[in-house]
Chains A and B, each alone.
Chain A
């Protein structure tokens, strides 16, 4: 059987003296979309940062494989080129760098690190136009500096645009629904759903079931106190919505 796209084994991570991830186990086969749900502070976002390689965290135990390759040994940019993409909860502003320039720099950097040639300008423009159309992103937005003065909806659409253009194997969406009204959420969800393929896997991190009405998961995991405490199908999300997280707390309050 083929490797799962993402395989996390007994992952422990800490920031300074505080252990945040306490033995995460998760396997996502190709083509599946998994949701991780949990209350604020349960360590969900830490999981996404650790996978992407943010250096504030120290990994004390465990391993992570991306399509069979040791992910933790790679630098953040190498992880990106290997096909890992993180859609940020709070996308970062890059003043003075137009969205278009940023997209081209990112695409070419990844191509270079995979030993491919630079994208020609017409090919690039075509790709951006196509991907932008689904997300209601027009030329004027692409000329603005990336994320600077973008509304919540624009930021998240720009994240999904990058995801579409960089064509990763493994997408992690961190609280993609935060800051979105229902119309914006639908546009973003449509964009994400359009990127679901049999080869690509996704990990959607959220604490609301709302998003999962629009982006329907294959598997739902409940995250509590730094580990996955329960897994099930999409009905688990509804159950959480009805009852809250209290039933799943590892240490009763």
Chain B
């Protein structure tokens, strides 16, 4: 395993004809527009043909100009370090300390690039910020670092990742994401992750060890994580919320799908520190093939967290009889007024459901995709519109080959 590999300087493909046909077939299934595919596949064009991505290069700059008008900073983290040092110094590492865990330390030592967002006081970000717009501006390495700061009374919705598989040669992705929400601020962070899961025998694939944490630092602040995890050979990922401010609220909505030999270990931590803090967790795990799918979550109330409230629902769906679903909740309450609820179910797609769908004309895979999309609906509806449709398709693709 390489711990660090600088982005390769091998010549990038100059047209889609030079790109791995399997990758293109996947784009096809996802219905990604041709021009966008070139960007995703890393096709280099003279004079930055990003103009093709979202209509024109000016789109990106228009966005940045429009955002700058209201004082929003949205740039790469390397640019932020140069241009906005005081903000970076104040907040970087304040949510995820460099000593937090092995991979966070590694990331802190070698991170190559990532995103930086700053929303000033009282500003509602007028658009969804997405890494889509930035992806080819600079090749992001496997150690991404993201920092989002929402000042008092502000709001931002941030979309991360893309639904296309990144056929990365590097084995390890150890990203760190830090969110800071100050008084009355709200951050909504959505992820769709579809990295290379390895081949059908479980060879290769990405190790996705990500540290994501949000700090509800101010009173009445809110942080909401929504994730659709379908890729990677091994995923360890626990987007968490520190509910420090009084009345702050944390949410975690997750869909984790594992097929083949994938191993997903994902969940969240809701750390209740302030008074009357509340959190809500809805996790849907779908295991198929030979995979293992674990929900691991911690809900804790500090002694001062008077009136802390949590509701957790974990549902697992098994497809076939060679896979596993596991739920490992850690619940700790040091305050007698805290109310924590945990519900969990495990189910299988029944033969009767399959037969019914097939009798109506759906083939086996289409039937599974439909039933699974129904199973995850509660979570899907928390995704921004543009991610929702792609996610539904992605779910269908991830489960291909799961019915015999």
In the bound complex, do residue B359 and residue A76 qualify as a contact, i.e. CB atoms below 8 Å apart? yes
Number of interface residues of A (CB under 8 A): 32
In the bound complex, do residue A166 and residue B360 qualify as a contact, i.e. CB atoms below 8 Å apart? yes
Q: Which residues does chain B contribute within 8 Å of A97, judged by CB atoms?
A: 370-371, 373-374, 377
Interface positions of B from 359 to 404, Cβ below 8 Å from A? 359-364, 366, 370-371, 373-378
- Within the assembled complex, what's the spacing in Å between the Cα atoms of A91 and B360? 12
Knowing A94-B371, A97-B370 touch, does A88 contact B362 (C-beta < 8 A)? no
In the bound complex, do residue B356 and residue A88 qualify as a contact, i.e. CB atoms below 8 Å apart? yes
How far is the CB of B146 from the nearest CB of chain A, in Å? 31
- Within the assembled complex, what's the spacing in Å between the Cα atoms of A93 and B357? 10
- Within the assembled complex, what's the spacing in Å between the Cα atoms of A128 and B371? 22
- Within the assembled complex, what's the spacing in Å between the Cα atoms of A96 and B370? 9
Query: A81: nearest residue on chain B (CB-CB)?
Result: B361
Q: Which of A55, A88, A113, A145 contacts B374 (CB 8 A)?
A: A145
In the bound complex, do residue B361 and residue A113 qualify as a contact, i.e. CB atoms below 8 Å apart? yes
How far is the CB of A201 from the nearest CB of chain B, in Å? 17
1/0 per residue, CB under 8 A from B, across A71-114: the answer is 00001110111000110100111111100011001110110010
Query: B378: nearest residue on chain A (CB-CB)?
Result: A96
Q: A54 contacts the other chain (Cβ, under 8 Å)?
A: yes
In the bound complex, do residue B359 and residue A75 qualify as a contact, i.e. CB atoms below 8 Å apart? no
How far is the CB of A163 from the nearest CB of chain B, in Å? 10
In the bound complex, do residue A80 and residue B375 qualify as a contact, i.e. CB atoms below 8 Å apart? no
Count how many pairs of residues, one from A and one from B, have CB atoms less than 8 Å apart in the complex. 78
Q: Which residues does chain A contribute within 8 Å of B362, judged by CB atoms?
A: 77, 105-106, 109
- Within the assembled complex, what's the spacing in Å between the Cα atoms of A28 and B364? 30
Q: Which residues does chain A contribute within 8 Å of B351, judged by CB atoms?
A: 56
Q: Which of B360, B375, B377, B378 contacts A109 (CB 8 A)?
A: B360
Q: B58 contacts the other chain (Cβ, under 8 Å)?
A: no
Q: A162 contacts the other chain (Cβ, under 8 Å)?
A: yes
How far is the CB of A103 from the nearest CB of chain B, in Å? 9
Knowing A97-B370, A97-B371, A97-B374 touch, does A75 contact B358 (C-beta < 8 A)? yes
1/0 per residue, CB under 8 A from A, across B324-367: the answer is 00000000000000000000000000111101111111111010
How far is the CB of A154 from the nearest CB of chain B, in Å? 16
- Within the assembled complex, what's the spacing in Å between the Cα atoms of A113 and B363? 9
- Within the assembled complex, what's the spacing in Å between the Cα atoms of A81 and B359? 9
- Within the assembled complex, what's the spacing in Å between the Cα atoms of A102 and B363? 13
In the bound complex, do residue B356 and residue A95 qualify as a contact, i.e. CB atoms below 8 Å apart? no
In the bound complex, do residue B374 and residue A96 qualify as a contact, i.e. CB atoms below 8 Å apart? yes
- Within the assembled complex, what's the spacing in Å between the Cα atoms of A221 and B351? 31
In the bound complex, do residue B373 and residue A76 qualify as a contact, i.e. CB atoms below 8 Å apart? no
Knowing A95-B375, A97-B374, A102-B370 touch, does A109 contact B361 (C-beta < 8 A)? yes
30 A-B contact pairs sorted by A residue (CB < 8 Å): A53-B358, A54-B355, A55-B355, A75-B358, A76-B358, A80-B359, A80-B360, A86-B359, A91-B356, A92-B352, A92-B353, A92-B356, A93-B353, A94-B357, A94-B371, A95-B374, A96-B373, A96-B376, A97-B371, A97-B377, A101-B370, A105-B370, A106-B360, A107-B361, A109-B360, A109-B363, A109-B366, A110-B360, A166-B360, A166-B361
Known: A52-B359, A94-B356, A97-B373. 6 other contacts (CB 8 A): A56-B351, A85-B359, A95-B375, A97-B377, A107-B361, A113-B363
